[in-house]
Structure 1
Amino acid sequence: MVPDRIERVLDLAHPPAKVWAAITTAEGLGTWFGQQASIDLRPGGAGRLTWPDNSVELRVERVDEPRVFAFTWPVDGRPGDQRRTYVEFTLEPAGDGTRLTVVETGFAQFADDTAYRGNSDGWGRELAELVEYLDAA
């Protein structure tokens, strides 16, 4: 059985407004979560993350500033597959900082755990880059 959910929780030493900007603006996303990004920050809006050898289209699903931002995206490595997973970022004030919870769901729709394993590893790398981005800004 393929696990359906990836969840990561980070306690960040930055206020929610700064974390919100990092995860919802083209400048922020294009720095830590790709090398270039575009985003139409409204439900139904489109986004794109671009790396040197790949790009992915996002569809914004939820915007509840400054608490929740969510999108769906296709699973990497499955060209032509229309199935998508759902990614939700939740921000909560935590002292002077922010507790960020990232949850990605929808992996149980696949017959094997390749996408789950790849995205689970990927979130570890990408969220480390988010921390570096926030700490440097």
Structure 2
Amino acid sequence: MGFPDRIERTVEVTAPPSKVWAALTTAEGLASWFGDGATIDLRPGGAARMTWAGGQSVDMRVERVEEPTVFGFTWQIQELPKDDPRRTYVEFTLEPLGAGTRLTVVETGFAQLPEDVHRKEYDAHTQGWASELGELVAHLDAA
């Protein structure tokens, strides 16, 4: 049996798609729930970077921008060397849901990882998305 390759989570938020889109695709939006700081060039091929207190950071590459419904990026795998070309792909899909939004995040690419890295990264990202999406919902509900 192969390694799991896909993490998928769906949340429903009371905010309209335009507010969810801004939280996902702007530096200010990302820094309000996902990290402590962010930069983003919102176009396919554009660079993005998330930073956290304590000095942790991750470089990202914008892959897909279909406002206001689909946003995707690739990012580094923390357990691999910075110059390793392997990345996972994260895609957010926004669907209007009454006055709110159904948001689905799918992250793929874990099956390409070496066995010693796979389980640690897959488990960390599974827990991470549960936590981060909770923070996104709380941020949007407070806005």
| TM-superposition CA deviations, 1:64-114 (whole Å, max 9, x none) | 000000000011222232200000000000111100000000000013322
- Unpaired stretches in structure 2, ≥5 consecutive residues: none
- Unpaired stretches in structure 1, ≥5 consecutive residues: none
Match of 1:98 in 2: 101
Which of 132, 136, 142 is the equivalent residue of 1:136? Answer: 142
- Confirm or deny: 8 A CA contact 2:36 2:51 kept in the other structure: yes
- Confirm or deny: 8 A CA contact 2:63 2:73 kept in the other structure: yes
Match of 1:26 in 2: 27
**Bigger Cα displacement from structure 2, 91-100 vs 72-81:** 72-81
**TM-score when scaled to structure 2?**
0.93
- Confirm or deny: 8 A CA contact 1:2 1:111 kept in the other structure: no
Q: How many residues align?
A: 137
Cα separation, 1, equivalents of 2:30 and 2:85: 23
Cα separation, 2, equivalents of 1:15 and 1:56: 28
Q: Superposition RMSD on alpha carbons, in Å?
A: 0.9
Match of 2:18 in 1: 17
Cα separation, 1, equivalents of 2:38 and 2:16: 23
Alignment of 1:58-97 (within 5 A): 58-80=60-82, 81-97=84-100
Letter of the 1:136 partner, please give it. A
Alignment of 1:109-124 (within 5 A): 109-112=112-115, 113-124=119-130
Percentage of identical aligned residues: 64
- Stretches of 4+ aligned residues off by more than 3 angstroms: none
Letter of the 1:4 partner, please give it. D
